[in-house]
Structure 1
Amino acid sequence: MTRITVMQGQARVSAGPRVELTTVLGSCVATCLFDPQAQVGGMNHFLLAEPPASHRKGEVDVHYGVYLMELLINEMLANGGAKPRLRAHLYGGANLRAGMLPIGTANANFARTFLQREGIPLIHADLGGNHARRVDFRPAAGKARCRIVETAQAPEPAPLTRPVTTAGEVELF
């Protein structure tokens, strides 16, 4: 089995029958998409749902779900998937620290709304709560395993002061 770690700000797609995508989530959300007919799937891992109003138009920041969801769909289509056949799993969205803004809840709500708007059925979700999760996803089969991990093992959210990066092309639907 080849394990590929999906880090914050990444999306990975594979049709390999011996590939497993894996990530650890706190307030972040991972979307796992798969096309059962094409036997291709992928995972993204986003830090926040959408950029603030002060974000400059036209600049891409890979930490936002609004970008990574489109990127994941585009990569699925480029690798033989068909949008009408896509199915989704959602994981993460925890609110790990009491008294903080409910970023995990906002991320989970964004992901659910995005999938609804795009007409992609959500077949499984493990969202919310106050614990971190480890997700292992076999993209070709569309099978996932989600386990609770100690909050201390959850990745710290990346600082929001990272420079904005622009790379690649994303076609918005």
Structure 2
Amino acid sequence: MTEMRERLVNVIQGDFMISDDPEVVLTTVLGSCIAVCLYDPEKQVGGMNHFLLPEGEGSDTSDVRYGANAMELLINGLLKAGADRDLLEAKIFGGAKMMGNLRNIGESNAVFAHQFLRDESIPCIAESVGGTAARRIRFWPTTGLVRQLTVQGKLDQVAPARPIQDRAKTKDDIVLF
């Protein structure tokens, strides 16, 4: 029996990634940005994008910073990788309000993502959007599993670290996510 090793692949702002490799885990950190995780449960292929704004000025359709382009590129990439468009399922993450006194870009991003998926008849089966906390996302593209860790912005909300020698004695307190 072989041991399966996970390989983390970071999806940075303005990028997308597709995989049918069961060892790949796509990961990103989101504030007001949105990540849409799409996958085909039958073909076991999926992908994640990470966009900053709903739509941009001009006609550059390759600029993945914008949701309109990021979504089209992700869907087309999945189809090229063998996904069946009728089986695609989506999960949406991010869209936090990171700056209290500025326009709520996160909300605009989330509204855009939902509307795009409705227009394309792709069901959104899970989401975690809004709020004020950043999120770290891990997405297994062959199964559709997503794990989320919320990251609070205030240092006073972080538990104090225990000394290293104490941590070595306790196995039960290690939580990856």
TM-score when normalising by structure 2:
0.82
- Quote the residue 2:22 is aligned against: 17
How big is each residue's C-alpha offset from its partner over 1:67-116, in whole Å with a ceiling of 9 and x where there is no partner?
00000001100111011000000000000111110000000000000000
Name the Cα RMSD after superposition.
1.4
Based on CA coordinates, which of the two structures has the bigger radius of gyration? Answer: 2
Match status 1:57 vs 2:59: yes
Q: Percent of pairs identical after alignment?
A: 46
Cα contact 1:89–1:124 (8 A) shared by 2 = yes
- Secondary structure, aligned partner of 2:77: helix
Of structures 1 and 2, the one scoring higher in RCO (CA 8 A, sep 6+) is 1
- Secondary structure, aligned partner of 2:97: coil
The whole-number CA distance in structure 1 between the counterparts of 2:102 and 2:129 is 17
Question: Size of the alignment, in residue pairs?
Answer: 150
Query: Counterpart amino acid of 1:5?
Result: N
The whole-number CA distance in structure 1 between the counterparts of 2:96 and 2:117 is 19
How big is each residue's C-alpha offset from its partner over 1:104-160, in whole Å with a ceiling of 9 and x where there is no partner?
00000000000000000000000000110000000001100011013379xxxxxxx
- Quote the residue 2:78 is aligned against: 76
- Secondary structure, aligned partner of 1:151: coil
Which consecutive residues of structure 1, in runs of 5 or more, have no partner in the other structure? 154-173
Query: Counterpart amino acid of 2:98?
Result: L
Cα contact 1:26–1:151 (8 A) shared by 2 = no
Cα contact 2:61–2:69 (8 A) shared by 1 = no
1:57 Cα offset (Å): 3.0
Give the counterpart of 1:39 among 44, 48, 52.
44
Query: Counterpart amino acid of 1:84?
Result: D
Out of 21-30 and 95-104, give the one that drifted further: 95-104
C-alpha change, 1:152 and 1:8, in structure 2 (3 Å) is farther
TM-score when normalising by structure 1:
0.83
Query: Counterpart amino acid of 1:114?
Result: F
Which consecutive residues of structure 2, in runs of 5 or more, have no partner in the other structure? 1-5, 156-177
1:61 Cα offset (Å): 2.4
Query: Counterpart amino acid of 1:24?
Result: V
Query: Counterpart amino acid of 2:129?
Result: L
Query: Counterpart amino acid of 1:96?
Result: M
